[in-house]
Homo-oligomer: A and B are copies of this chain.
């Protein structure tokens, strides 16, 4: 408790926290090459990197800051698909670039990204076998992340989805004190609801249940995972690797 009292001095959104960034499959040389063919974009907090409808002919490497990728469901509903941080590469991997974005990318804070055109990626892939291999690895990794979310959020009801989400967020915003993992970021019920496609009220009640069962507790607005094995049980976690267990 005493130690947790220091939490407020800890920087939120700790970069070392993220288990594995999606660009980690690339070598330093790959990253340098990607940067050299990229254009730097600065997106202010609450501004959009892109919106639905624009051509999906480029991908992004996050240099600093964070981005929420989400999809509008109706006028007053949205679904969060993913969060990206420094070291994450994201975007549509469609070489023909004929698709359009069906979601929007919002900067959660002042964010700097390298924007790389798909056609430049294609050339690089054709020319450099080592990059091609890494690029395929990245694409496969993105695929496994999506697939694992699909399972977690679809199969075990909203309570299963929420428990899985807590575990994922505790990796994405990793914190630890007294041997207990906590989510080192204040997250509203509404934000969590958008991630698992539930309502704010449902999330509220489910969190209340978990609190009553001593599975989680709140300290300084952060969620502490007191009983991880319970959370794992509810969502039938099958211990997928850290690189995949994230938002």
- CA–CA, A92 and B148, complex, Å: 12
Given A125-B132, A146-B147, also A236-B93 (CB < 8 A)? no
Residues in chain B near residue A92, CB distance under 8 A: 140, 144
Please tell me if the beta carbons of B93 and A136 are within 8 angstroms of each other in the complex. Answer: yes
Closest to A77 in B: B155
- CA–CA, A175 and B133, complex, Å: 39
Name A155's contact: one of B126, B133, B146, B197 (CB within 8 Å).
B197
Residues in chain B near residue A234, CB distance under 8 A: none
Q: How far is the CB of A230 from chain B (nearest CB, A)?
A: 18
Extra pairs beyond A92-B140, A142-B143 (14, CB < 8 Å): A73-B155, A93-B143, A99-B241, A125-B129, A125-B136, A132-B135, A135-B136, A136-B139, A143-B143, A143-B146, A146-B147, A150-B153, A154-B154, A154-B197
Which 3 residue pairs spanning A and B have beta carbons closest together?
Answer: A93-B140, A126-B129, A132-B132
Indicate if A7 sits at the interface (CB-CB under 8 A).
no
- CA–CA, A153 and B147, complex, Å: 13
Indicate if A238 sits at the interface (CB-CB under 8 A).
yes
Indicate if A96 sits at the interface (CB-CB under 8 A).
yes
1/0 contact trace for A191-219 toward B, CB 8 Å? Answer: 00000010000000000000000000000
Indicate if A122 sits at the interface (CB-CB under 8 A).
yes
- CA–CA, A129 and B241, complex, Å: 30
Indicate if A110 sits at the interface (CB-CB under 8 A).
no
1/0 contact trace for A138-178 toward B, CB 8 Å? Answer: 01111110110111011110000000000000000000000
Indicate if A20 sits at the interface (CB-CB under 8 A).
no
Closest to A146 in B: B146
Residues in chain B near residue A81, CB distance under 8 A: 147
Please tell me if the beta carbons of A136 and B132 are within 8 angstroms of each other in the complex. Answer: yes
Residues in chain B near residue A74, CB distance under 8 A: 236
Indicate if A79 sits at the interface (CB-CB under 8 A).
yes
Name A236's contact: one of B73, B137, B141, B146 (CB within 8 Å).
B73
1/0 contact trace for A51-68 toward B, CB 8 Å? Answer: 000000000000000000
Closest to A79 in B: B155
1/0 contact trace for A5-40 toward B, CB 8 Å? Answer: 000000000000000000000000000000000000
